[in-house]
Each structure stands twice: as C-alpha cells, then as structure tokens.
Amino acid sequence: MAEIVDSLATFLPVDTSNVFVVGHSMGAGAAVGAASKTPERLRAVAALGGGGAPSESCSVLPFFVAAGASDFGLGMSKGLAGRLRELGCEHVDEKVYPATEHLLVVQRALPDVFAFFDAELAH
C-alpha cells in the first residue's frame, strides 16, 4: 500500500503524512495488514465487517471497527477490536449498527468513519 500511495503522489497532490485507509470484509483484513506492515505511513484505519491479524506495531494507530448486528463479519470485527485492545491500542472506536447486514454496513458506517478521520486530523 505504501508503494501505491508514493506512486500516486508523483502525479496527484497527495499528502502522504495524512493517509487514512478503509477496508470492508476481506478489505478490512488488508487494511489491518497494511497497518501492521507500515504503521508509520498511516494516520488511522477503519475496518468494516471484517477482521484481521494486527501486529503490535499497529497499536499506535487509531482504529474504527464496525459491523452490522446481522453481519456475518460481526464476530471478526469484535475479535479485531479485542485484539487491538490487548495489544495496547489506545484508540479503538467500536460500533455495531442495528438492523444492518454485511453489505449495508459500508453505507451505514461511512459518515461515522469520515467523522472519526476528521477528528484524527484535528489532533
């Protein structure tokens, strides 16, 4: 992911010090993987309807972890949030959206994700 951001920055006005990543389902695991591999390149992560295997190195990042109450990824999301806390991640915002399944969680969560990212920019 870091290489993609660097490549984009060669022809687009990308602020490489303010990179936020959002992943849904399997993409949540990819986002967690990117955070584990290069946490210094990210500002915050949102993982929706999925999980991943975070490393201790990504515990310095703020995470927004969410799933729908009827989402088959709910258990993975809860597991991710718990593991992040075990690793010492100080900022884990966990949310479960009622009456929401796996695909709808993205639409439901994005306003909260962007608010979470905006709050991180304010720090």
Q: What is the DSSP string of 48-108?
A: ES------GGGGGS-EEEEEETT-TTHHHHHHHHHHHHHTT-S-EEEEEETT--TTHHHHH
pLDDT in tens, 55-84: 999 999 999 999 999 999 999 999 999 999
- Residue-wise pLDDT for 1-25, tens only, equals 888 888 988 999 989 889 999 999 9
Q: What is the pLDDT of residue 6?
A: 86
pLDDT, tens digit, 9 for 90 and up, residues 102-118? 999 999 999 999 999 99
pLDDT band for 50, please (50, 70, 90 cuts): very high
What pLDDT is attached to residue 3? Answer: 86
Decide if pLDDT at 91 tops 90.
yes
Give residue 4's pLDDT.
87
Indicate if the pLDDT at residue 48 is higher than 90.
yes
What pLDDT does 57 receive? 94
- pLDDT over 70 percentage in the chain: 100
Whether the Cβ atoms of residue 107 and residue 79 lie closer than 8 Å to each other: no
- pTM summary value: 0.94
